Structure 1
Amino acid sequence: MKLALHSRKLETERSKFLIDSIQDILNRVEFELIISDALAPYLEKVAPEMYAQLSVFSTTEELRGVDFMISIGGDGTLLQALTYVQELEIPIVGVNAGRLGFLASIQRENFSNTLDSLINGYYSIDERTMLGLVSDREDLFGGIKFGLNEFTILKRDTSSMIVVHTYLNGEYLNSYWADGLIVSTPSGSTGYSLSVGGPVVIPGSENFIISPVCPHNLNVRPLIVSDQSVISFEIEGRSKNFLVSLDSRSEAVDATIELAVKKCAFKAKLVSIGGGDKFLETLRKKLNWGLDNRN
């Protein structure tokens, strides 16, 4: 079984967990391991003998034939792993060595058991819808124009609010006078969208959430639409430059750019270990649902 592993530089305690995890994989004859070019320089520095045993991948094409991608870190690390996987839809094992971890839901103390589950086939695949960005700028985001969590349009720095004219399948929806606008997937509903008042949406609901950031009109509220919709935008404001982002990747654009989002042609596949709905379990744990100081 061939594994690819992606991680980033971690704090001292978590760095030890990363090294121990790689060694655990190398000790098992069932696995062949390759590591990402983002991890390679760090591993070469802290564990040169281990690094010498491994091959490095840097492109999606080099991942062909890989059975699982292991992401060790937080949700941001998992989102980076997806930029490597892209249309190959390699299942991602998200191991939480970070803090919150809605996407990277496997706890690090369970890592060795997780490897056993992969060997024995005791896992399930959770398919998640992603957003695809359509733009007249082919070089935007280095050509990696998709995101698992959200697409965002924001004003720059301290400039005045912007107006985002928004269309749903070509039909005029609204002009959002705001600091920005978020289009989120159900997976991203627990992220940036939630922080501006958007609803939590269960993965698999086949929806997008349109949420304004600090809207000027207080009667403007988040809106849930079908993920079969094409959502397009025209931006205007006193400043001629704006920020657009896909998950954690941001770029500056000007008002002449054409932008639209729709359901991505491929999905993110997240590995789940054990039974039950891990999303609901994570919600209860991370958002402290059902807890009360009186108890």
Structure 2
Amino acid sequence: MRVRVVSKPSTELKPLLAKVEASLRAHGVDVEERDFDAVVAVGGDGTLLRAVALGRPIIAVRAGKRGLLMDVPPERFEEVVERLKKGDFREENYRTLELDLFGKTYRAFNDVALLTDGVGTATFKVSCGTEFSFDGDGLIVATPQGSTGWSLSAAGPYVDRSVMGTVVTLINPVLTPMRSLVVNYPTVRVSVLPSGEEPHINVVIDGNKVGKLEGEIEVKTNGRPVTIYRFFDFDPVKLILRKDP
């Protein structure tokens, strides 16, 4: 078996990365940069996103204060390698979002956000099995795993990763009690209604700004899944609610 190890650039992680690679090689697992079967992600949420972009199954090793989807404690990595060789793990498949923008197809593991750029709100029209309009600073379309991030900070709900649904969270909506809804619909369509001076709306995918909204955007909620090899049970809610810094 061949794996690639990814992490954020950090001098603090160098000793751990050295142990991870040594453990892999000691068990006959090749560490490669280009031709590999799986990815060992060592770090937190940002590292997991980098691993997702590589398009291979992921082994998620938690290192740092964040990392709600990282199930492998670093001190148990030796055990994980042994179980990996035996096939003693379960596969979890995570739904993603897809959208075509500027002639390119993007995939989001966590969320797609539409945000006003500058002063003032915009009027958004949303179609996701139901249709509604609202004035606000933007909205977030999130997967269940993405519900623990930006959407949660904007008063969206936590959605368990087993739920077949998509979160639509409104950012600072004006004169409406609704802040978020969870839908099970193949697409979420969003456009901005004309209202005087046209606002500039940024499109942000998994935290990266990719451009401005032009016309209507369609987010598909059944994108190509991401596979994570799971070795241990874990509870994101406990990590969200923990009080240590």
Both proteins in one fold, TM over 0.5: yes
Aligned pairs for 1:225-236 (under 5 A) are 225-226=183-184, 228-235=185-192
1:258 CA drift (Å) = 3.4
Q: State whether structure 2 residue 71 is matched by structure 1 residue 147.
A: no
Aligned pairs for 1:17-36 (under 5 A) are 17-29=16-28, 31-35=29-33
Q: State whether structure 2 residue 92 is matched by structure 1 residue 126.
A: yes
Larger strand percent? 2
> What percentage of residue pairs aligned between the two structures are identical?
24
Q: Distance in 2 between matches of 1:67 and 1:272?
A: 16
Q: Distance in 2 between matches of 1:260 and 1:222?
A: 18
* Residue equivalent to 1:102: 68
Aligned pairs for 1:185-204 (under 5 A) are 185-204=143-162
User: After the TM superposition, which parts of structure 1 deviate over 4 Å for at least 4 consecutive aligned residues?
Assistant: none
1:213 CA drift (Å) = 1.0
Residues 1:286 and 1:116: Cα distance change in structure 2 (over 3 Å): farther
Q: How many residues align?
A: 241
Q: Distance in 2 between matches of 1:242 and 1:15?
A: 40
1:73 CA drift (Å) = 1.5
1:252 CA drift (Å) = 2.6
Larger helix percent? 1
Match of 1:241 among 200, 203, 216: 200
Q: Distance in 2 between matches of 1:138 and 1:7?
A: 31
* Residue equivalent to 1:266: 224
Aligned CA-pair RMSD: 2.1
1:76 CA drift (Å) = 1.1
* Residue equivalent to 2:43: 73
Q: Distance in 2 between matches of 1:105 and 1:213?
A: 31
Secondary structure at 1:267 match in 2: strand
* Length-normalised TM-score, structure 2: 0.89
Match of 1:164 among 124, 135, 138: 124
Q: Structure 2 regions of 5+ residues with no counterpart? A: none
Q: Structure 1 regions of 5+ residues with no counterpart? A: 36-56, 58-62
1:263 CA drift (Å) = 2.2
CA contact (8 A) 1:105 1:282 kept: no
1:214 CA drift (Å) = 1.2
